Amino acid sequence: MNKRILVTGAAGFIGSNVCLELQKQYEVIALDNFSSGIKENLLEFEGRIIQADIRNFDWQNEKVEAIIHEGAITDTTIKNRELMLDVNFHAFKKIVEYCENQGINLIYASSASVYGKGKVPMQEEQEKDILSYYAESKWEMDKFAATKFSAFEEKGLKLVGLRYFNVYGPKEQHKGKMASMIFQLYNQMKQGKQPRIFKYGEQTRDQVYVKDVVKATLLALEAKKNGVYNVGSGQATSFNKIVEELNKNLKTQLKPWYMDNPYKHYQNATLAELSKAQKFLGYKAEYSIEKGIADYITFLENERKN
């Protein structure tokens, strides 16, 4: 693959991490409208930054070999369905059609939210359980992409969707209430507060470290087969376990404060089945929850010092 890649949502959590890794071997163009992403996430980025909205950007101006599409509304609580579908689905549809016509490889961010309260481990083909407008927008993206996989393949092009599970790690701090539970619990515990989790902390999540997500995204550029793939750690981690690991790394002994769960659509468990990603992307997570939290805390503590 030639050396020029455009990343949308480049100032966001995952997008900025992808840009910084990609620039080691490619020329990278970063595109973001900065509605939620922040310029600070791109301080170490050396390429060109374009401030624009994916809904009305003129793609013709940029000659690239691949687009990595991370740009989206990622606030799962947004109640405006029209806006959610406009930004996440309709803009994506245009990007797919543009890439198909121009011969550009396309990797895009899907989401494990499409599985809802489905059975675990979650397999790509299992029945979907759509519980939010965000999940609906991502599922619409996947369904549309599925109509184009073979057309891209016939042209020798990649079209790959990545179903990210619960991603955590550096450069998510700007996300506020949408940041990972790991970051939120870290913040509470740094202030000496009891970490607040739902009763009784036994719910599990597939927590995947952002460095693994970046690795999967780069591997997708060389995918053996077009399709949608799970990107997780393949490990189910309880919230109690997260608190335990944070205590260990922060050298604290804070007990959880268990709260009633007010959400009726709450997922009790998520877990990625990764055999398809391993087979066609060569993806295998490197970071266990222990290793990921330790690496993340080192980053956060260094940031505090500076």
* Domain residue limits, the chain: 4-167+208-233, 168-205+236-270+292-305
- CA torsion sign for 233, 238, 241, 242 is positive
4-167+208-233 matches 168-205+236-270+292-305 in fold: no
Phi (first) and psi of residue 269, to 5 degrees: -155, 140
Contact present, 111 and 131 (Cβ < 8 Å): no
Contact present, 208 and 246 (Cβ < 8 Å): no
- Looking at the annotation, which residues are catalytic? 134, 175
Please compute the mean of the pLDDT values over residues 100-127 and round it to a whole number.
97
- Per-residue pLDDT reduced to its tens digit, 2-39: 589 999 999 999 999 999 999 999 999 999 999 999 99
Assess whether pLDDT exceeds 90 at residue 190. yes
CATH class of 168-205+236-270+292-305: alpha beta
Contact present, 195 and 185 (Cβ < 8 Å): yes
Phi (first) and psi of residue 237, to 5 degrees: -120, 130
What pLDDT score was predicted for residue 30? 98
- Per-residue pLDDT reduced to its tens digit, 213-253: 999 999 999 999 999 999 999 999 999 999 999 999 999 99
Superfamily of domain 4-167+208-233: NAD(P)-binding Rossmann-like Domain (3.40.50.720)
Please compute the mean of the pLDDT values over residues 124-152 and round it to a whole number.
97
In this structure, what DSSP letter does residue 40 have? G
Identify the band that residue 61 occupies on the pLDDT scale cut at 50, 70 and 90: confident
- Per-residue pLDDT reduced to its tens digit, 261-299: 998 778 889 999 999 999 999 999 999 999 999 999 999
Contact present, 193 and 178 (Cβ < 8 Å): no
- Mean pLDDT check: name the lowest of 60-64, 257-261, 268-272: 60-64
Q: In whole angstroms, give the CA distance from residue 270 to residue 168.
A: 15
What pLDDT score was predicted for residue 306? 81
Looking at the chain, the whole-number percentage of residues with pLDDT higher than 90 is 92
Identify the band that residue 77 occupies on the pLDDT scale cut at 50, 70 and 90: confident
Identify the band that residue 71 occupies on the pLDDT scale cut at 50, 70 and 90: very high
Identify the band that residue 91 occupies on the pLDDT scale cut at 50, 70 and 90: very high
